Amino acid sequence: MNTYINFITESGISLGLLTLVYLFFLRNETFFRLNRLYLLVSAVFSGILPLLHIPVFLNSVSSNLGLIASGPSVLEVVEVYGGAGANASGAFLSLPLIGLIYFSGILFFALRFTWKLGQMVLLVRSGEKRKFRGLTIVRLGFDTSAFSFFRWLFVGRSFQFGTEESNHILKHEMVHIRQRHSIDVLLLELVVLVQWSNPFIWYLRRAVRENHEFLADALVVNKGISPVRYKAMLIEQVTGIQLQVANNFNYSLLKSRIKMISKIKSPRWAGYKYLIGLIGMLLLVVVFACEKTTEPATEQVAVKSANVDSQPLMVLDEVPVTKAVMDTLNPKSISHIDVLKNKESLAPYAEKYGQERVKNGVILIYTKGFLNEPVESTVEKDASITRQNASDNNAGYNGEPVFFIVENMPKFPGGDLALRKYIAANIKYPEDAQKQGIQGKVYVTFVVTKTGEVGGAKIARGVSSSLDDEALRVVRGLPKWTPGTQRGKAVNVQYTVPINFVLQ
């Protein structure tokens, strides 16, 4: 789920859940450092969650599932959305207008962020500067409450140094500077650029700033000032200019700050509440990042070996392949298998592929198509269908061999992305399936013939008759491909395309 629609959806749900955990369980706790960490991790986690894809393999005993293993002839999933207003939904997802609005928002907030930074630079240049304990204090030409940005501390023109009040203000701002709160602020501003359309990010940004003030207030009060005097000083402050990329001493959070100053420290057992957030993150990973992948059936290609766990090098038609590719083969398409174990027979392969890859042996698999051996035609003709459907024994098509991997694989006009767009644009979610709440992933296998035509389309794994028929209809109507070639000769090549019907 890498489109911006899915990104917004997944990150929004993640931010919403984690923000609610903070709001109901953590906000009123006095573990300010832990709260700071939780808020930052929540923002970053929600941003990367949609990018995570963790495969979870499931065992299967169905021989048909061997046809849908991951391999070079298995295309990426095509998503088809349905439900209330399914047609409108599909059009909505395909319209570039949504992307235009989203990226226009990113541009707007990027310009806004740049403008704020520019303001900060102008203030640094225009103000009167002086050094103080390794920091740079900038006195501005107008009255404002104190605020800081990295190692710059800004004060208004009427700010009086040496008074009790000014000393406490300086202590407060120095906490912001020493704990590098400006980094948090910039990080949240960058997250806002990407997730500006998510309402929870705005609350999260405010919560981070609020927690910064709690941290600074707590350290100042712990250094000896009376909480009553400090609260009175907060009320006396006059709000001036406030830049959202800076840490303001009086950041319009007086009520919550005053309340937190008087709050009794949270008991140690309350720290276990953070486990709620951790559990929430783990659940989000399971729901959104873990993808179920059917592990190919081992009986698809029976290869005898003295030690299966040793993982010998597999070479299919003189091309090294993985076990996943081997599992896409129909056993009846195999001519013969050679197992090489002794040192002498492995020598040429060690020289070609490296000693490390062949140390556990080499298994050579040759298909009938590669060796140009005759195969029995298993095609059944249906008078109601203009194209031909191969039966389950797909070792041949129209009496000719079918390859699973060739030197030059067939090419759809415009590439794989154009193929997925074509299928998505032409397929329709059947109304009866929508009414019955039927959804799922349909796997369609087909053959790109040596002339580039699409034939032999059939269901490798179906969901329902209506979904299966619709998937077959679109696949059978695919335009002509550039045929695949083996040894310079055009050949038949089998493909599998998963089409995922999803109700919204």
231 and 172 share one domain = yes
222 and 141 share one domain = yes
Instruction: Kindly calculate the radius of gyration of the chain based on its CA atoms and give it in whole angstroms.
Output: 32
Residue numbers of the domain that contains 387: 379-503
- Look at residue 296 and tell me if it is in a domain: no
361 and 278 share one domain = no
309 and 333 share one domain = yes
31 and 179 share one domain = yes
Domain boundary among 289, 319, 336: 289
pTM for this predicted structure: 0.54
Higher pLDDT, 198 or 373: 198
- 179 pLDDT band, cuts 50/70/90, is very high
Please name which of 7, 51, 20, 11 lies closest in space to residue 204, comparing C-alpha atoms.
20
- Look at residue 93 and tell me if it is in a domain: no
- 372 pLDDT band, cuts 50/70/90, is low
CATH number of domain containing 391: 3.30.2420.10
**Tell me: the pLDDT tens digits for 106-160?**
999 999 999 999 999 999 999 999 988 778 999 998 888 888 998 999 998 888 8
250 and 110 share one domain = yes
Kindly write down the DSSP assignment for every residue of 359-389, as one continuous string: TT-EEEEEETTTTT------EE--TT-SS-E
Higher pLDDT, 348 or 58: 348
23 and 142 share one domain = yes
Domain boundary among 346, 367, 388: 367
Predicted confidence at residue 424, as pLDDT, reads 87
pLDDT of residue 470 exceeding 90, the answer is yes
Higher pLDDT, 291 or 486: 486
The total number of structural domains in the chain stands at: 3
Please name which of 435, 443, 450 lies closest in space to residue 484, comparing C-alpha atoms.
450
- 288 pLDDT band, cuts 50/70/90, is confident
pLDDT of residue 207 exceeding 90, the answer is yes
Q: Among 189-193, 333-337, 463-467, whose mean pLDDT is lowest?
A: 333-337
283 and 307 share one domain = no
158 and 240 share one domain = yes
- Look at residue 276 and tell me if it is in a domain: yes
In this prediction, residues 240-255 reach a mean pLDDT of 56
| Crossing angle between the packed helical segments 274-284 and 4-21, to the nearest 10 degrees | 160
- Look at residue 97 and tell me if it is in a domain: no
450 and 336 share one domain = no
Predicted confidence at residue 327, as pLDDT, reads 60
In this prediction, residues 474-480 reach a mean pLDDT of 93
Please name which of 429, 420, 419 lies closest in space to residue 479, comparing C-alpha atoms.
419
pLDDT of residue 244 exceeding 80, the answer is no
Predicted confidence at residue 261, as pLDDT, reads 80
352 and 452 share one domain = no
Query: What does the alpha-carbon distance between residue 142 and residue 133 come to, in Å, rounded to a whole number?
Result: 24
- Look at residue 188 and tell me if it is in a domain: yes
